[in-house]
Amino acid sequence: MNFFKKHKKEDDTDEELLNKYRNTNDSEYFGLLYNRYMPLVYGVCLKYLQNEDKAQDAVMEIFEMLLPKVAGYEIKVFKTWLYSVVKNHCFHILKENKRELTVDFDSNLMESDSVLTLLVEDVDTEREKALNKCLEKLPEPQRIAVYKFFFEDMSYAEIVENTGFHLKSVKSYIQNGKRNLKNCIESSVKEE
């Protein structure tokens, strides 16, 4: 019985946990919720602070900062809200220390690209035809990377093993390939 109940608590959605925290003021609920996203929070802190110790401090700081305040905020989607809180906190730390931020332009530009759902949604035949045509037009490394990722369901690491490309280049091949494909498909669909 208890076992079952415990399971249920873990399965609560973010918003349910947040509501429970609001209603009961029992910090365990928020701890549970925060722990759920801790790997992401830590990763983002690492990205911006580039230092394990500082990132760990930031993770704990953010928790301590949010614990008393979070109930007062109106939060629709906890995950996106937390993301911006974490980013802002990191920027704040950087600003306070007046340290220059080293920006990895390459990956940053790649990852922030807005082309997201290209092949995930159902494709009508016309688009599929265009897609096949466009795939062939892609530069070879991009085509290989895109094909292996989307059609052969390989992970980045597997593509690296399979092709010998560098991990970073695999990422950018896929991103750039997707963008090129999108542009190509859009223009060819317009033409017809």
Partner 1 sequence: MNLLDYIKGNRKGKGARKLELDAMQDPFLADAMEGFDSVKGDHADKISRMQAQIAARTASSSSADKRFVGYRIAVAAVVLIAALSGYLTLMNHKSTMLSAQENQQDTFYIYAPEEYLAKKRAELTQLQEESKGKASLNPIVKVENLNEIIQPFEPMYVYYPESHYDRDRYDMNSSEQLLAVAATPSVQSDYILPESISHTETARSEVAESRNVIQGRVTDQNGEPLIGVSIAIKGTNTGTLTDIDGNYSLKSNIESPELVASYIGFDSAEVSNPFANQDITMKESQLALNEVVVTGHGALKKKELTGAISTVEAKDLALANTSEVNKALEGKMAGVQAKSNDDAKIRIRGAGSISTDEKPLYVLDGVPVSDISHISPSDIESMEVLKDAASTAIYGSRASNGIVLITTKKASNSKPEPYTGWKSYNKYLNDNKTRTKGSDCEKKKGTVELEFEVGEDGKPINIRVAKSVCDSLDNDAISLLRNGALWNGKGMAKIKVKY
Per the CB < 8 A criterion, the answer to whether 107 and 172 are in contact is yes
Closest CB 110 distance from partner 1, rounded Å: 10
Q: Which range in 110-118, 125-133, 137-145, 181-189 contacts partner 1 by CB under 8 A?
A: 110-118
The answer to the question of residue 184 lying near partner 1 (CB under 8 A) is: no
Our CB check for partner 1 shows the closer of 38 and 129 to be 38
- Residue 191 vs residues 67, 115, 138, 141: alpha-carbon distances, Å: 55, 21, 19, 27
Per the CB < 8 A criterion, the answer to whether 32 and 8 are in contact is no
Q: Which of residues 77-106 bind partner 1 (CB under 8 A)?
A: 77, 79-85, 87-88, 91, 95, 100-105
Tokens 């390939």 locate to 177
User: From the CB of residue 100, how many other CB atoms can be counted at a distance below 10 Å?
Assistant: 7
Q: Which of residues 122-151 bind partner 1 (CB under 8 A)?
A: 149
Closest CB 191 distance from partner 1, rounded Å: 28
Closest CB 66 distance from partner 1, rounded Å: 11
What DSSP state is assigned to residue 164? -
User: From the CB of residue 68, how many other CB atoms can be counted at a distance below 10 Å?
Assistant: 10
- Residue 37 vs residues 41, 93, 124: alpha-carbon distances, Å: 6, 20, 37
Q: Which of residues 16-75 bind partner 1 (CB under 8 A)?
A: 26-28, 30-32, 34-48, 50-52, 55-56, 59-60, 63, 72-74
Token pair recorded at residue 32? 């549970």
Our CB check for partner 1 shows the closer of 50 and 183 to be 50
Closest CB 5 distance from partner 1, rounded Å: 4
Rounded to whole angstroms, the Cα distance separating 106 from 182 reads 20
Q: Which range in 126-134, 136-144, 157-165, 182-190 contacts partner 1 by CB under 8 A?
A: 157-165
